[in-house]
Amino acid sequence: MHIHILGICGTFMGGVAVLAQAAGHRVTGCDAQVYPPMSTQLESQGITLIEGFDAAQLHLEPDLFVVGNVISRGNPLMEAILDRGLAYVSGPQWLADNILRHCRVLAVAGTHGKTTTSALVAWILEVAGAAPGFLIGGVPGNFAASARLPEGWNPRLQEHDARPWFVIEADEYDTAFFDKRSKFVHYRPQVAVLNNLEFDHADIFPDLSAIMVQFHHLVRTVPRAGCLVVNGRDDRLQQVLRMGCWSTVETFGSAEGWDTEQDAAAGILALRHRGEPAGVLEHWPLLGEHNRQNALAAVLAARCTGVPVPAALASLAGFKGVRRRMEIRGTVRGVTVYDDFAHHPTAIRTTLEGLRRTLGPGERILAVLEPRSNTMKMGVWADALANSLVQADLVFCHGAQAGWDVASALAPLGDRAVVEETLEGLVQAIVQAAKAGDHVLVMSNGGFGGIHDRLLKQLAGT
């Protein structure tokens, strides 16, 4: 079958493209903006990309159009598909019907930490010999791509318990313009991780209660024989469970269940179960308490599939992280430039806190922010933005992306904050301020105009 994917360069839809091709389909796709790492990944897989959404793409005559949630009414290609009465389906629905129903699914949901936790689970299962399939919203360092089919995947396999495991990052964002349910409602997992729950996606959800209802719908799809791994620190998730729960619940992040030793030194991951020591990893590669919790959630999720806690914990020593999650892009003249996906105040704060704990006296953090997400552009987080950045020594923000008065929001930071309307001006301000020993932490959920390479080149004087 030939499928043509609209919005193919998003992390989710790009993963669907890779899986579809691996399953034997011919895959092409189109998108408005094409940038690495997804464009590179797709091209390396031999998938043809088309820039834009011209209706002339109907001449490709695919058997099916798979539609991403970035596509809205008024899109010229989508309008032509509707006018012609051609076959189309959402990305999550296609994935569920063609890939996931032949697997046992482990889904990782939550406002924060989905990508890292999904990558951790996939790596634990890989080391355990399960050779899982996965679709992750980033490229894990331990794997060549963000998505792959599991070993032994067979659409004709009937016995459920013999089916391979598939790890999926379970996003609460909506499915498509014609299906406003959260993506994760389609996945029907055997094991589900509920990492945390905060208000986000203000362009989709009117309030926090609306998101909680979608999480409740996810819980409803987990079978009685399945397992929920739930953050016990999050009161909102406890409210979700009180709406109805029919599965075994494993709690992490609280003294009543599993937790990490929060005062452990950097580089050490120590687990506790009901207050008693439950294992130590002395070579833990990730920064911050939030990543310790992500690791614990991953260990417990893998335990639900049959991987013992000691084996799961030991495997994490070889975890190589995920691209765009505290990824070091380079060091020039003693200045280190990082790339991170943080774009919600909580994620910004925890990322900065994690980096701060690793630094020595006199080392500075220069936080660089692109307020690009739909929720950020709506100004929802204006009042929380300055407080999320207090761990930074200097803050640089690309004001043109916001569409609202970022300078006023950052005013509590005083002269520590710089807002520039142009990318060129932003790069110049950062380069002028940077000195040896500084850590430049770039945070954005997009390409940010290639600012990382621009910074490295200008710091090097090239």
Confidence band of 37 (pLDDT split at 50, 70, 90): low
231-281 confidence digits (pLDDT tens): 999 999 999 999 999 999 999 998 788 998 877 677 889 999 998 889 999
Structure confidence by residue, pLDDT tens digits, 80-104: 999 999 999 999 999 999 999 999 9
Q: How far apart are CA 294 and CA 118, in angstroms?
A: 9
Q: CATH no. for residue 349?
A: 3.90.190.20
- pLDDT of 20: 96
The predicted pLDDT at position 35 comes to 67
Percentage with pLDDT > 70 across the chain: 96
In this structure, are 216 and 154 located in the same domain?
A: yes
Same domain for 46 and 103, yes or no, is no
Which residue in 383, 341, 387, 438 sits closest to 119, CA to CA?
341
* Cα–Cα separations (whole angstroms), residue 285 to 258, 294, 346, 367: 20, 13, 21, 22
pLDDT at 462: 61
Q: How confident is the model at residue 315 (pLDDT cuts 50, 70, 90)?
A: very high
Over residues 407-422, the mean pLDDT reads 88
Q: What is the pLDDT of residues 109-159, one digit of tens each?
A: 998 889 999 999 999 999 999 999 999 988 888 998 889 999 988 888 878
Out of 58, 90, 122, pick the residue that ends a domain.
90
Residues 135 and 277 reside in one and the same domain: yes
Q: Same domain for 26 and 126?
A: no
CB atoms < 10 A from the CB of 282, how many? 11
Ramachandran region, residue 98 (left: φ > 0; alpha: ψ -120 to 50; beta: rest): alpha
Q: Are strands 365-369 and 439-443 parallel, antiparallel or unpaired?
A: parallel
- Please identify, among 90, 108, 129, the residue that sits at the C-terminal boundary of a domain: 90
Predicted pLDDT of residue 255: 78
> What are 118's two structure tokens?
């999904």
298 and 179 in a common domain: yes
The CATH number covering residue 237 comes to 3.40.1190.10
pLDDT in tens, 179-231: 999 999 999 999 999 999 987 777 788 898 999 999 999 999 999 999 999 99
Residue 377: per-residue pLDDT: 66
| Cut 0.75: pTM above it | yes
42-46, 280-284, 317-321, 334-338: range with lowest mean pLDDT? 42-46
Count of structural domains within the chain: 3
User: Is there a single domain that holds both residue 82 and residue 118?
Assistant: no
**Per-residue model confidence (pLDDT) at position 443:** 86
36 and 150 together in one domain = no
Average pLDDT over the chain, rounded to whole?
Answer: 90
**Residue 291 and residue 344 in one domain:** no
456 backbone dihedrals φ, ψ, rounded to 5°: -65, -40
Same domain, 72 and 195: no
For residue 7, give both structure tokens.
């919005």
The residue-averaged pLDDT of 431-435 equals: 92
Quick one: pLDDT band at residue 378, thresholds 50, 70, 90? low
d(CA 47, CA 28): 6
306 lies in the same domain as 331: no
Distance CA 235, CA 369 (A): 29
Assign residue 41 the CATH number of its domain.
3.40.50.720
From 90, 125, 159, give the residue that closes a domain.
Answer: 90
**308 shares a domain with 175:** yes
Compare 263 and 349 and report the one with higher pLDDT. Answer: 349
Report H helices in 64-170: 76-84, 91-98, 114-127
Instruction: State the residue range of the domain holding 436.
Output: 327-459
